[in-house]
Amino acid sequence: MQLNNARILLTGATGGLGQALARTLSAAGATLLLAGRDPARLADCANRLGGATQSVSADLTRQQDIEAVAAAARDFDVNVLINNAGINAFGLYERQDWPAIQQVIATNLLAPMQLTHALLPWLKSREQAAIVNIGSTFGSLPFPGFTAYSSAKAGLRGFSQGLRRELADSPVEVVHVAPRAIATALNNDAVNALNLELGSHADAPDAVARQIVAALRAGRGERHFGFPERLFAWLNGVAPALIDQALKSKLAIVKRHV
Ligand SMILES: NC(=O)c1ccc[n+]([C@@H]2O[C@H](COP(=O)([O-])OP(=O)(O)OC[C@H]3O[C@@H](n4cnc5c(N)ncnc54)[C@H](OP(=O)(O)O)[C@@H]3O)[C@@H](O)[C@H]2O)c1
C-alpha cells in the first residue's frame, strides 16, 4: 500500500495507540481524518499534526454516528480505514454486568464491522484501498479475566479473515494486526499490576505504530507482534488443551488482581 498521499480514516485517534499511529502515518505522507468521541481532544490532536488533518467526532456504538463518520470519510475521499477504537473491561465474566459486556462487543467488534460495511462500496471503487483492523493477542489467545474482550477480538480476527478472502479479487487489502500489551490508558492499574506479576511486557505505542504501518505498507494479511505471545497464540490454535493447562496455573494470580 502506497502511504504517500493516502487518505486515512483513523478511529480511536485520541487514544494512546491512535495518536502514535497518526504521527507515524502523517510522517509517511498520509493525510488523516481523525475520529473519536471528544471534540476538544480531537481538535487538539488535529492541531498537533497540522496540515490538512481533519477530524470528526462520533460515538461508534451509535448507528447514526457510524453513518455520519462514513459520510465524512467519503467527502474526505478516504482510501484507507483503520479500525482502531477499542475499550477493555478487566474482570471475571460472571461478575460483569451485561451492559458493560455489550459495550465491549459493540465497540471492539460491531463498530468496525458496521463502519467497514458502510464504507466498502466506496473503498472498492478506489484504485488502491485498505482496511486495517487492530486486534489483540487475546483474539488468538483468549485470557481469563478478559473473556468479553477476547471474544470481541477473536470475532474481529474472523471478520478480517473472511473479508480478506471475499475481497481477494478487489483492490481492497484487509490487514489484521494483533499487538500484545501496549502502554496506554486502555489498561487500568489492575491490568498493569497483573502484567507486571505475569511478566507480560507492555510495548511503547510508537513502536507498535511503526510495526502496524510497516504491515500496511507491505500489505501483510495478518501480523502478530511480540515474542513469546506470538508463539503461544499459534500454540492455542493447534493445541488449546496445552494452553488451558498453562493458564489454569495463572488463574489464582488473575483472580487476585480483578
Ligand atoms: N493497550 C493495549 O494493551 C492494547 C493491546 C492490544 C491491542 N490494543 C488495541 O489497540 C486499540 C487502541 O487502544 P489504545 O491502547 O490506544 O486505547 P486507548 O488509549 O484507551 O484509546 C482508545 C480509543 O478508542 C476510542 N473509543 C473508545 N470507545 C469509543 C466509542 N464508543 N466510539 C468512538 N471511539 C471510541 C477512544 O476515544 P475517546 O477519546 O472518545 O475516549 C480512544 O481514542 C484498541 O482497539 C485496543 O483494543 C490495545
pLDDT of residue 6: 97
Q: Where are the alpha helices (H) located in 35-146, listed in sequence order?
A: 39-49, 63-75, 98-105, 111-124
Report whether pLDDT(185) > 90.
yes
Report whether pLDDT(220) > 90.
no
129-134: strand order across its sheet: 54-57, 31-36, 7-10, 80-83, 129-134, 172-178, 222-224
Q: Residue 58: which of 22, 19, 14, 123 has the closest Cα? A: 14
pLDDT of residue 106: 98
User: What distance in angstroms lies between residue 202's CA and the mean position of ligand 1's atoms?
Assistant: 15
Q: Is 85 in the pocket of ligand 1 (CB under 6 A)?
A: yes
Residues known to be catalytic: 149
86-111 core/surface letters (b: 16 or more CB in 10 A; e: else):
bbbbbbeeeebeeeebeebbbbbbbb
Spatial separation of the C-alpha atoms in residues 184 and 77, rounded to whole Å: 30
What 8-state DSSP symbol labels residue 203? B
Which residue, by CA, sits nearest to atom 40 of ligand 1? 37
CB-based contacts of 217: which residues, under 8 Å, 6+ apart?
1, 3, 28
Q: Is 59 in the pocket of ligand 1 (CB under 6 A)?
A: yes
pLDDT of residue 50: 84
Which residue, by CA, sits nearest to atom 44 of ligand 1? 86
For 113-134, the pLDDT digits (tens) are 999 999 999 999 999 999 999 9
- Coil, strand or helix: which one is 16? helix
Q: Tell me which amino acid residue 115 is.
A: L
Q: What average pLDDT does the segment 32-37 reach?
A: 98
Q: Is 68 in the pocket of ligand 1 (CB under 6 A)?
A: no
Q: Residue 178: which of 103, 239, 231, 230 has the closest Cα? A: 230
Question: Where do the domains of the chain lie?
Answer: 7-257
Arch. (CATH architecture) of 7-257? 3-Layer(aba) Sandwich (3.40)
Q: What average pLDDT does the segment 14-33 reach?
A: 97
Spatial separation of the C-alpha atoms in residues 214 and 88, rounded to whole Å: 25
For 76-118, the pLDDT digits (tens) are 999 999 999 999 999 999 999 999 999 999 999 999 999 999 9
Q: What average pLDDT does the segment 160-164 reach?
A: 98
